[in-house]
Amino acid sequence: MGSGFSLREPRNDNAQAMLLFILRRLLSAIPTLFLIVTIAFFLIRVAPGGPFDLEQPLEAKVMENLRRIYRLDLPLAEQYWLYLAALMRGDFGPSFYFRDFTIAELFARGLPVSVTLGALALTLAVAIGGALGTIAAFRQNSAVDHAVVGLGAVGLTIPNFVVAPVLQILFGLTLAWLPVGGWGSPSSLVLPVVTLALPQVAVIARMTRAAMIETLRANHIRTLRSLGLPTRVIVRHALRGAALPVVSYLGPAAAALLTGSVVVETIFGLPGVGRYFVEGALNRDYTLVMGTVVLVAVFVLAFNLLVDVVYALIDPRVRYE
């Protein structure tokens, strides 16, 4: 009876420690998000130009009415507090450029596209990059290892705006296997997902290779090898230690991919949220820029928290306290 209690108690303590850790991180994220919102709000407002500045200026009366409708006639400090109050209610405000839509409506249309695209690209990158890095580490200094390192260098140096048209010409126009753009069918996802995933495959493969080589030289892995255990057992134990740097990288990488890529979305004609940031900045759409900044910040904070939790689960030396 006593032994059963002693086995359960550490698990309960660990679960409570994890919950407290997550709670502390969530509380610490509030001032971080507040600081990001504050800096972004004032930076976009002090930038030259305004949301209603056109090549042919509007009449003074029309401009005055627009500024009053969107509360731009108020002092900047009052605009800031009004925006914060609305943001706490989950109201991102109306778009100044897409005047028939609110920011929430634009995100509701574009975010599922970007999340689907980014999630598939990240999954593909982890699977292929992890496998290539592991194979290269086990065959260090072989032809396979040199090939993986070379492909990684190529994947990092060739930008998306070069890869995307090449894939469109080869698989869309020449071979006619896949659509060159649009959104709706599963086949339309293949080329943009591959384009987004290729740089991440290169990064993850190189990181996995370096971490796996170091892990394979550890004493416990050497012991497993000396015992003549199967390769699959050695890989399973080695991956646990080699995954730590990759997991740390996945936080910001996931946030960047899931919020969309403006280049990929533009080339393939995808209605994601990536293009909203550029369009909002070019047109001085204050609320659209702010909404995009808040969205990216929330994703970064959330994924960093998730990475910390997964990190502690993988490495038993890490404690939530």
Residue closest to 125 by CA, chosen among 117, 86, 179, 233: 117
Please name each of the domains of the chain with its CATH number: 116-270 (1.10.3720.10)
**Tens digit of pLDDT for each residue in 48-75?**
666 666 555 556 666 677 677 777 777 8
Report the alpha-carbon distance of residue 29 to residue 16 in Å, rounded.
20
Report the alpha-carbon distance of residue 196 to residue 213 in Å, rounded.
27
In sequence order, the 6+-apart residues with CB closer than 8 A to the CB of 301 are 29, 32, 33
**Tens digit of pLDDT for each residue in 66-100?**
677 777 777 888 888 988 888 888 888 888 777 77
Report the alpha-carbon distance of residue 145 to residue 12 in Å, rounded.
44
**Tens digit of pLDDT for each residue in 166-196?**
888 888 888 878 888 777 778 888 889 898 8
Two structure tokens written together for 122: 């990240």
pLDDT band at 1 (very low <50, low <70, confident <90, very high): very low
The pLDDT value given to residue 8: 42
Q: Report helix, strand or coil for 48.
A: coil
Residue 7 has pLDDT above 60, yes or no: no
Mean pLDDT on 106-126: 86
Report the alpha-carbon distance of residue 269 to residue 184 in Å, rounded.
11
The pLDDT value given to residue 57: 57
Two structure tokens written together for 76: 């900047």
pTM: 0.75
Q: What are residue 59's phi and psi, to 5 degrees?
A: -65, 150
**Tens digit of pLDDT for each residue in 121-173?**
888 988 898 888 888 887 777 888 788 888 878 777 887 878 888 888 888 88
pLDDT band at 206 (very low <50, low <70, confident <90, very high): confident
| Length of the chain in terms of residues written | 321
Taking CA atoms, 27 is separated from 34, 36, 117, 299, 305, in Å, by: 12, 15, 30, 16, 12
Buried b (16+ CB within 10 A) or exposed e, 291-305: bbbbbbbebbbbbbb
Two structure tokens written together for 250: 């996945």
Residue 202 has pLDDT above 80, yes or no: yes
pLDDT band at 220 (very low <50, low <70, confident <90, very high): low
**Tens digit of pLDDT for each residue in 249-301?**
887 777 777 665 777 888 888 888 877 777 777 777 888 888 888 888 888 88
Residue showing tokens 């820029």: 289
